[in-house]
Chains A and B, each alone.
Chain A
Amino acid sequence: MMERTALLEMKNISKSFPGVRALDHVNLKVEKGEVHILVGENGAGKSTLIKILCGLHTDYEGEIVIEGKKVSLKDPHDALKYGIATIHQELNQVPTMTIAENLFLGREPLGRGNMLIDDRRIYKEAKAILEAQGLTYDPHMLVRNLTVSQMQMIEIAKSVSQNARIIIMDEPTSAITDAEVKVLFQCIKRLKAEGVGIIYISHRLEEMFEIGDKVTILRDGQYIDTKDVKDVSRGDIIKMMVGRELNNIYPEKKHKVTDKVVLEVKNLTGHKRFENISFKLHAGEILGLAGLMGAGRTEIARALFGLDPIHSGEVYLEGKRIAIKNTSDAMKHGIMMATEDRKRYGLVLKATIGENIGLPNLKQFLGKSGFLLSDKREREKEKEVFDELGVKAPSMHTRASALSGGNQQKVVLAKWILANPKVFILDEPTRGIDVGAKYEIYKIMTELASKGMAIIMISSELPEVIGMCDRVIVMREHYLSGEVSGEEINQEYIMEFASANVEELRKANAR
C-alpha cells in the first residue's frame, strides 16, 4: 500500500526547560479529515507540544512537516500562515469589541488610500464567515455578551476563514454545557468532512470515543503510542497514561452517615440563580449536588459560603438559624468551600504553600499577645496538614504557582482542613487533575467524612458522583428536581432528574 502524505507530521520533537525535559522524542501524525485525540496526565507534555505547533515555543529539537514540506515556525502568526490555528482553553477575544471586529483583529481590511479601516467590508465579510459555519449571530454584537460556547464557535469560524487546515482544540468542553458540547461536536464533524485535521485535547475520555479517530498518548514527556480509537478501551488508555493499572478508582467507603443534621437549608432563593432550595446534610455524609452546568449548583454553594447574597430562605447550622452575609460569617460558623476555580479563588499563586495554607487560619497562630503571629506554631500546624495530605513539593516555601493541579488542589484542601470545617463544600474537586491524583483527593474526602465532617460535593462527572456520594440531590434550571440515595444512585436516575421538565418544576415550586 502506498503511503499517503500526512497533513501534519511532528517527528522526534524534544524540548527542555531549565531543569525539566518537557518532551522527549515525541511523534504526532495527523491525516486530513482526522480527529486526533491527544491524551496524557497533567505535565505529560501535551501543552508544550501544542505550543511548539502553534509557534509559541521556537527552540525545540526535531522537525515539523506539513504536507510533505519541512517547516520551521517562528511565531503564532507564522503558524497560521501554514494553516495551523489554535482554539485555546482561555479564548483570546476582546470582550469590548464586536464579533466582526474580533474576527478581523490584526488583519483589518483597509479602504481607499490604505489608511482607514473599511468597516463596511468588515461587517459584510464577517456575516459571510459566520453564515459559512451556520451561525446566525449579528456581527455587531459585543463579544462580551456571548457565552463561552458561542465565543468558541466564533473562534472556529475565524480559523476556517483564515484557511486553517489543522485546528488545535485545547480542552474545548471544559467550560460549556452538555447541549453546547453537542453543537461543538457537530461543528467538528463538519470540519472533518471538509478535510480539516483536528488535534483535540481533553481530560474527558468519553469524548474521545464519541468523536476521535486516532489517539496519541503521552506520559512524562515521552511518546507512548498512537492507536485507532476503535481498537482501545478506556482502561487501556488510562493504563498507558499513568503507566500502571488503576484498580481502585474510588476508595472504600469507611465513613458512616449519622443521624445528626449539621446543615439544614429551607426554601433558599438567590436572585435568579436558584429557587426554593431545601435539603439536609448529616455529619459524616458526602452529599452530591448534581445537575447540568448552569443549573445553579455552584451558585447555591457560593451563597452558603457568603460569596454571593442570599435573597430569601433560611439556613440552620446544628439546629440554630444563622445569617451569612460574607465569607467571614460563613467561616465563623464552620461552613467552608473549596471553589471550582483553584487559581482564581483558591490560591494566592505567588505566595508559598505555607502562606496559602495559613491564610484562613492566622487566628490559630496568634501568640500570647493576641496581636503577633507565632512563627513556630504556624510552621508546626501547617506542616502537619501538609504532611497529612501528602502534598508533593520540595518544601513549604515552594510557591503555589510551581505546583501541579493535583498538588494545588491538595494545598487548597489543606488550608480548609486546618480550619476544621463542620460543613465542607467541594466544587468540582477533581477538575483538571490527573487520574492518579484524583484517587488521593477522593481518599482525603472519605477520611474527612469518617471523622464526622459533613461534605457537599459538586461535580459534573457523573461517575465520580456515583462512586463517592452517599446521597445525591439533583438540580435542573435553578430548581431542585430530585434526590437519590443508596442503590438508586446511578446514571439513569440522575440524568432523568437533571433533565426534568422545567415547566412542571416551576409549577410545583410556585405552589
Chain B
Amino acid sequence: MNKTVDMKANKKTHIIQTIFKKYMIYILFIAIFAISSFASPAFLKVSNLVNILRQTAIYAIIAFPITMLIISGVTDLSPGSVAAFTGVAGIVAYVDLTTKMGVNAVLAGLLAVAYSILLGIIIGFVNGIIITRFKVPAFMATLAMMTSIRGAALLYTGGNVIYQIGDIAVLGKGSIIGIPIPVLIMLILFVFFTILLKKTMYGRYIYAIGGNEEAAVASGINVNKIRMISYIVQGAMGGLAGILLMCRLNTGQPTAGEGYEFDAITGAVLGGTSFTGGEGTMFGTLVGILIVGMINNIFNLLSVQSYYHQILKGVLIVVAVIIDMRGKNSKVTA
C-alpha cells in the first residue's frame, strides 16, 4: 500500500515539475508585467507599451532565426554587429540615392532595405561557409564575425554618426492602421517563422539535427545545406533588423545594436529553447523576447543604473537554463 502512495506522490511532483516548466514563461511574463505596473506609473501608458513593442520588434526579428539556430544545436553571436553594419550601409545608400541621384523616396527606400538584407545574406553566407566547410565551431566563427563586422561598420562611416537620414525613418517611426511598422513586420515574420519551423521539411530537419546530428545524417539529411540556409536566413534578418533599427533611431549609428544577439538569445532561452538542441518554439521566443523588452523598458523608466539591469538579465538566463536542465534530468530518472 505504502508503495503505491509513494509512486503517486512521485508522479505528482513529476507532473508539477512538467507544468511548471511549461508555464514558467507565462507566469514570469505576468509577474514582470505586474511588478512593472506597480513600479512605475508610466509603464502602463499606451504610448509606453507601444514603445516597448517597437523596441522589442527589432530584437524579435533577430531572435526568430536565432531560435532556429539554437534548436539545430548552433548559435550566432554576430547579429548585433551585422545589424549595425548593414543598417549604416543601408542608410548611406538611401541618402546617396535620394540626395545625389534624385531617386524618389519610395524606390530608394525599397532599394536601401534590399541592400541591407543583401549585405546580411552575404555575411550569413560567409558565416555558413566558415562553419560548414572549414568546420570552425559556430561559437568561435560568429564571435570572430561579430568583431570584424563591428569594425567594418565603424570603418564605413569613419566612426561618425550619420544624421539627417531623411524620410526612410518612417520605417522605424511610422505606423500603419495604428500598428508601428516594425511591430507589423515582426508579426508577419512571427507567422512566417512559425510555419517554417513547424510545417516545412526544413523546420523538421532543424529539430532533427539539433536532437541528434549523426542520426540526421544517417536519415539522408544534408546537414551542411540546412546549416547554410539557417545562417543565410539569420544574416538576412540581421540586415532587416539593422535598417529598421537605424530608422527607429533616426540616425545611422555604427555602434548601435551592441548586445542585441545576447538579448535575442536570452529571449529564446527564456522561451524554452534548449541550448542542448532539438527543442524550442517561435511562440516561446516571442514571449521571451517581450519579457526582455519589458525588463529593458522598466529599468529605463525607473532610471536605475544599467548595471543592475545587466545583473538581472544574467540571472534570468541562468535560471532559465537551470529549469531547462532540471526538466531533462527528471526525464532520465523516470
- Which residues of A are interface residues toward B (Cβ below 8 A)? 16-19, 21, 305, 307, 326-328, 330-331, 336-337, 339, 344-351, 355, 358-360, 362-363, 366, 371-373, 401, 415
Asked if A350 contacts B211 (CB within 8 A), the reply is yes
| Interface flags, B307-330, vs A, CB<8A=1, else 0 | 000000000000000000000000
Which 10 residue pairs across A and B have the least CB separation, nearest first?
A348-B211, A331-B220, A18-B10, A345-B218, A362-B201, A360-B219, A348-B212, A327-B220, A359-B219, A328-B220
Asked whether B147 is an interface residue with its Cβ less than 8 Å from the other chain, the reply is no
Q: Which of B198-224 contact A (CB under 8 A)?
A: 199-201, 204-205, 207-208, 211-212, 214-222
Q: In the complex, which range does the number of interface residues on chain B fall in?
A: 20 to 34
* Chain A residues whose C-beta falls within 8 Å of the C-beta of B222 in the assembled complex: 326, 328
**A–B complex contacts, Cβ < 8 Å, 27 sampled:** A16-B3, A19-B11, A327-B217, A328-B221, A336-B220, A344-B212, A345-B218, A348-B207, A348-B208, A348-B212, A348-B215, A348-B216, A349-B211, A350-B211, A350-B278, A355-B207, A359-B204, A359-B208, A359-B215, A359-B221, A360-B219, A360-B220, A371-B200, A372-B195, A372-B200, A373-B201, A415-B219
Asked if A307 contacts B217 (CB within 8 A), the reply is yes
Rounded to whole angstroms, the CA-CA distance of A478 and B307 in the bound complex is: 64
Rounded to whole angstroms, the CA-CA distance of A350 and B216 in the bound complex is: 13
Among B3, B10, B214, which residue has its beta carbon within 8 angstroms of that of A344? B214
Chain A residues touching B, majority SS: mixed
Asked if A348 contacts B278 (CB within 8 A), the reply is yes
- Which residues of B are interface residues toward A (Cβ below 8 A)? 3, 6-7, 10-11, 14, 195, 199-201, 204-205, 207-208, 211-212, 214-222, 278-279, 331, 333-334
Among B7, B208, B221, which residue has its beta carbon within 8 angstroms of that of A18? B7
Rounded to whole angstroms, the CA-CA distance of A326 and B216 in the bound complex is: 12
Closest chain A CB from B142 CB (angstroms): 25
Closest chain A CB from B229 CB (angstroms): 14
Asked if B214 contacts A345 (CB within 8 A), the reply is yes
Closest chain A CB from B168 CB (angstroms): 32
Asked if B218 contacts A327 (CB within 8 A), the reply is yes
Contact of A346 with B201 at beta-carbon distance under 8 Å, contacts A16-B3, A18-B11 already known: no
* Chain A residues whose C-beta falls within 8 Å of the C-beta of B14 in the assembled complex: 18
Rounded to whole angstroms, the CA-CA distance of A350 and B207 in the bound complex is: 10
Contact of A307 with B278 at beta-carbon distance under 8 Å, contacts A16-B7, A19-B7 already known: no
Rounded to whole angstroms, the CA-CA distance of A425 and B278 in the bound complex is: 28
Closest chain B CB from A195 CB (angstroms): 36
Asked if A358 contacts B204 (CB within 8 A), the reply is yes
Asked if A351 contacts B208 (CB within 8 A), the reply is yes
* Chain B residues whose C-beta falls within 8 Å of the C-beta of A331 in the assembled complex: 220
Most A CB within 10 A of own CB, among B3, B201, B212, B219: B219
* Chain A residues whose C-beta falls within 8 Å of the C-beta of B6 in the assembled complex: 16
Among A339, A349, A350, which residue has its beta carbon within 8 angstroms of that of B218? A339
Chain A-chain B contacts (Cβ-Cβ < 8 Å), number: 89
Closest chain A CB from B227 CB (angstroms): 14
Asked if B200 contacts A337 (CB within 8 A), the reply is no
Asked if A372 contacts B199 (CB within 8 A), the reply is yes
Closest chain B CB from A155 CB (angstroms): 24
* Chain B residues whose C-beta falls within 8 Å of the C-beta of A305 in the assembled complex: 218
Rounded to whole angstroms, the CA-CA distance of A337 and B219 in the bound complex is: 9
* Chain A residues whose C-beta falls within 8 Å of the C-beta of B3 in the assembled complex: 16, 21
Asked if B215 contacts A327 (CB within 8 A), the reply is no
Chain B residues touching A, majority SS: helix
Rounded to whole angstroms, the CA-CA distance of A349 and B214 in the bound complex is: 12
Closest chain B CB from A147 CB (angstroms): 21
Rounded to whole angstroms, the CA-CA distance of A447 and B10 in the bound complex is: 43
Closest to A399 in B: B331
Rounded to whole angstroms, the CA-CA distance of A360 and B333 in the bound complex is: 30
Contact of A359 with B216 at beta-carbon distance under 8 Å, contacts A18-B334, A348-B208 already known: yes
* Chain B residues whose C-beta falls within 8 Å of the C-beta of A415 in the assembled complex: 219
Asked if B204 contacts A362 (CB within 8 A), the reply is yes
Asked if A355 contacts B204 (CB within 8 A), the reply is yes
Closest to A419 in B: B220
Rounded to whole angstroms, the CA-CA distance of A351 and B219 in the bound complex is: 14
Asked if A17 contacts B218 (CB within 8 A), the reply is no
Closest to A61 in B: B3
Not counting A19-B334, A350-B279, A371-B200, a sample of 12 additional A-B residue pairs whose C-beta atoms are within 8 angstroms of each other reads: A16-B3, A18-B10, A327-B220, A327-B221, A330-B220, A345-B215, A348-B216, A349-B211, A355-B208, A359-B204, A359-B216, A401-B331
Closest chain A CB from B85 CB (angstroms): 32
Closest chain B CB from A89 CB (angstroms): 17
Closest chain A CB from B29 CB (angstroms): 26
Rounded to whole angstroms, the CA-CA distance of A339 and B219 in the bound complex is: 10
Closest to A358 in B: B204
* Chain B residues whose C-beta falls within 8 Å of the C-beta of A330 in the assembled complex: 220
Asked if B334 contacts A17 (CB within 8 A), the reply is yes
Closest chain B CB from A117 CB (angstroms): 31
* Chain B residues whose C-beta falls within 8 Å of the C-beta of A336 in the assembled complex: 220
Rounded to whole angstroms, the CA-CA distance of A358 and B278 in the bound complex is: 15
Among B7, B205, B215, which residue has its beta carbon within 8 angstroms of that of A347? B215
Closest chain B CB from A271 CB (angstroms): 19
Rounded to whole angstroms, the CA-CA distance of A328 and B225 in the bound complex is: 12
Closest chain A CB from B329 CB (angstroms): 13
Closest chain A CB from B2 CB (angstroms): 10
* Chain B residues whose C-beta falls within 8 Å of the C-beta of A327 in the assembled complex: 217-221
* Chain A residues whose C-beta falls within 8 Å of the C-beta of B220 in the assembled complex: 327-328, 330-331, 336, 360
Asked if A349 contacts B7 (CB within 8 A), the reply is no
Closest chain B CB from A302 CB (angstroms): 9
Closest to B204 in A: A362
Rounded to whole angstroms, the CA-CA distance of A206 and B222 in the bound complex is: 42
* Chain B residues whose C-beta falls within 8 Å of the C-beta of A366 in the assembled complex: 201
Asked if B204 contacts A373 (CB within 8 A), the reply is yes
* Chain B residues whose C-beta falls within 8 Å of the C-beta of A363 in the assembled complex: 201
Rounded to whole angstroms, the CA-CA distance of A106 and B278 in the bound complex is: 34
